[in-house]
């Protein structure tokens, strides 16, 4: 059942040529100049829908919930044209996203106790493996969505390790695997946004999203994660510093991200109606002063070579 659901939902953010608002690609003249992948964020949802409906753009992903925008291929001339379009807010190159290591804290983040029962933690990562139903996660984990078009299998190990750390501290929290990183150890910004878009459309009840990857400097990723927070999902990202820092839009960052996500699930078990900002305060998150620094991707590669996750 979960495999079928993953395959079905993976297709919802892709844009089939014959079924999407951007149909009619066969009428578009062929280009002689090369194209590159970009993320386009529109001013609002109406503008995004109108842009996607135009046959000029090679739309790969259409985001309908977490942000108004789409992933596309553009030539240099098309890029210049879109940059001058008043319906467009930002355009950024699609880029590689890498997993980040998380440290085990000497003392777990403060929490009121509890097991996380009644909550869902979305592990946005490389997938989750395990003998579902009778393995390490029991019946608490499932493969909810795979933006890479696969079955949710974790061929890198980072997502499974992250899920295990959440499960260790909040053993009764449900763990939904949202796979956005591929077997090569990295993923694309377009796929990460597809994962956040899926969570925005499907999250119900007390929810936490764990984002243990590098994404600093992306306007689209900031907008999508901030939108999740406003929808009521507590969002935890990876950072260099221990403890917990919170951004003005309500996202929390920590070097102990999975453990902070578990502490959030524990608190939400007792206070299911808590809003993300209030929850961050209860968990002892301090207001970030300036930009939050994330580990460079090479730190993860070094960590792997040293035999750890």
pLDDT tens track for 79-119:
999 999 999 999 999 999 999 987 787 776 666 678 999 99
- 220 within 8 A of 61, measured Cβ to Cβ: no
CA–CA dist 117, 134 (Å, integer): 18
Of the two residues 162 and 137, the one the predictor is more confident about is 162
Q: Which of 71-75, 183-187, 195-199, 286-290 has the lowest mean pLDDT?
A: 286-290
Terminal CA-to-CA distance of the chain, rounded, Å?
30
Of the two residues 138 and 202, the one the predictor is more confident about is 202
Q: Residue 279: name the closest of 216, 206, 212 by CA.
A: 206
The alpha-carbon radius of gyration of the chain (Å, integer) is 19
Stated pTM of the model: 0.85
CA–CA dist 176, 9 (Å, integer): 13
Band of the pLDDT at 208, cuts 50, 70, 90? very high
pLDDT of residue 134: 52
How confident is the model over 117-126, as pLDDT tens digits? 999 999 999 9
Domains of the chain: 14-94 (3.30.70.80), 97-305 (3.40.50.200)
How confident is the model over 140-172, as pLDDT tens digits? 889 999 999 988 999 889 999 999 999 999 999
Band of the pLDDT at 8, cuts 50, 70, 90? very low
Rounded (to 5) percent helix, strand, coil in the chain: 30, 20, 45
Of the two residues 294 and 95, the one the predictor is more confident about is 95
Band of the pLDDT at 285, cuts 50, 70, 90? confident
pLDDT of residue 131: 61
- Average the pLDDT over 194-217 and give the result: 96
Mean pLDDT of the chain: 83
CA–CA dist 292, 298 (Å, integer): 18
**Residue 256 burial (10 A CB sphere; 0-12, 13-18, 19+):** buried
Band of the pLDDT at 19, cuts 50, 70, 90? very low
Res 305 pLDDT > 70: no
- Average the pLDDT over 235-262 and give the result: 90
pLDDT of residue 15: 52
CA–CA dist 267, 112 (Å, integer): 6
Q: In this structure, what token pair is assigned to residue 295?
A: 């580990």
Q: Residue 21: name the closest of 44, 60, 53, 46 by CA.
A: 53
Res 16 pLDDT > 60: no
CA–CA dist 235, 66 (Å, integer): 13
- Average the pLDDT over 192-218 and give the result: 96
CA–CA dist 116, 119 (Å, integer): 6
């Amino acid at each position: 059942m979960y495999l079928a659901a993953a395959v079905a939902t993976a297709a919802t953010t892709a844009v089939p040529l014959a079924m999407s608002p951007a149909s009619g690609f066969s009428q578009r003249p062929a280009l002689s100049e090369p194209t590159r992948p970009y993320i386009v964020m529109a001013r609002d949802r109406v503008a995004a829908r109108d842009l996607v409906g135009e046959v000029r753009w090679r739309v790969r992903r259409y985001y309908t919930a977490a942000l108004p925008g789409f992933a596309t291929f553009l030539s240099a001339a098309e890029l210049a044209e879109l940059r001058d379009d008043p319906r467009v807010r930002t355009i950024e190159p699609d880029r590689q996203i890498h997993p980040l290591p998380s440290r085990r804290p000497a003392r777990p983040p403060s929490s009121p106790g509890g097991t996380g029962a009644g909550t869902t933690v979305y592990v946005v990562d490389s997938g989750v493996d395990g003998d579902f139903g009778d393995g390490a996660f029991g019946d608490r984990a499932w493969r909810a969505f795979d933006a890479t078009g696969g079955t949710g299998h974790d061929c890198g190990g980072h997502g499974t390790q992250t899920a295990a750390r959440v499960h260790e501290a909040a053993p009764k929290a449900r763990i939904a695997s949202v796979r956005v990183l591929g077997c090569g150890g990295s993923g694309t910004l377009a796929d990460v946004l597809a994962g956040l878009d899926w969570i925005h459309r499907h999250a119900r009840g007390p929810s936490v999203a764990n984002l243990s990857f590098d994404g600093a400097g992306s306007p689209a990723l900031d907008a999508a994660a901030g939108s999740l927070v406003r929808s009521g999902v507590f969002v935890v990202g990876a950072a260099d510093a221990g403890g917990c820092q919170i951004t003005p839009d309500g996202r929390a960052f920590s070097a102990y991200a999975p453990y902070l996500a578990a502490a959030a699930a524990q608190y939400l078990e007792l206070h299911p109606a808590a809003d993300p900002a209030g929850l961050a305060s209860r968990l002892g998150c301090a207001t970030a002063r300036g930009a939050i620094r994330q580990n460079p991707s090479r730190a993860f590669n070094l960590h792997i070579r040293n035999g750890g996750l």
